[in-house]
Amino acid sequence: KNEVEQSPQNLTAQEGEFITINCSYSVGISALHWLQQHPGGGIVSLFMLSSGKKKHGRLIATINIQEKHSSLHITASHPRDSAVYICAATPYNTDKLIFGTGTRLQVFP
Amino acid sequence: KAGVTQTPRYLIKTRGQQVTLSCSPISGHRSVSWYQQTPGQGLQFLFEYFSETQRNKGNFPGRFSGRQFSNSRSEMNVSTLELGDSALYLCASSRQQSWDEQFFGPGTRLTVL
């Protein structure tokens, strides 16, 4: 079993829909990252959080430390949100990232 | 401020050869991490350097090595290349710790024939 699990693996949505991607982890962590990867490979860091909730525009990330669970929400989805979303965790006392397998999101007009 | 740069962007090698990839972090960033991405295994951590010292290493064979220079630029080397080493190699920089916000480079796509 992977230490970081994501669901769903694939997600299809119509433009305007509210989207949720889930991430569960089994180890104690210093931080949880949400990353976005577009075709071609470039990765952008969306959020880094260790507690609570963060919001950037239409993107919201939450984390529940007790339940070892994080969610990424996209409100009013748009075709340009189509990408692979990856969560990654930094275990305590390490400086490395453990990655989930990613969620491939396609938003259609 | 310039982003993370990686060179070369594409590389084709044959089995048994060795390869060196380069990463220049964002100015002022002292931590550089390297990752391998393949369709089968996804993203995997290779190693992380801070102030010229390797602080963490992932589960990769000794053929994979790296170093960091005093200007924080980093290189990774893969010796005796195998077909399975074909992958996208990404580096990322952060200010102090790898759990600070990470800024990724565009990657080097290595193909081993």
pLDDT single digits (tens) B43-75: 999 999 999 999 889 999 999 999 999 999 999
Q: Which amino acid is at A45?
A: S
Hey, are the CB atoms on A45 and B104 less than 8 Å from each other? yes
pLDDT averaged over chain B?
A: 93
Q: Using a CB-CB distance cutoff of 8 angstroms, which residues of chain B are in contact with residue A44? A: 104
Residues on A contacting B at a C-beta cutoff of 8 Å: 30-31, 33, 35, 41-45, 48, 86, 88, 90, 94-102
CA dihedral A53, A42, B85, B41 (to 10 degrees): 40
pLDDT averaged over chain A?
A: 93
Cβ–Cβ pairs < 8 A, chains A and B: 63
* List of residues 6+ apart from A92 with CB closer than 8 A: A27, A28, A29, A30
Hey, are the CB atoms on A45 and B45 less than 8 Å from each other? no
* C-alpha count within 13 angstroms, C-beta hemisphere, residue A24: 7
- Chain B nearest CA to A48, separation (Å): 6
Hey, are the CB atoms on A31 and B107 less than 8 Å from each other? no
Percent of chain A whose pLDDT exceeds 90: 82
pLDDT lower than 50: segments of chain B? none
pLDDT of residue A1 exceeding 70: no
**What pLDDT does residue B90 have?**
96
One DSSP character per residue, A31-62 reads: EEEEEEE-TTS-EEEEEEESSEEEEETTEEEE
pLDDT in tens, A34-77: 999 998 778 999 999 999 999 999 999 999 999 999 999 999 99
Rounded Cα distance between B21 and B110, Å, is: 10
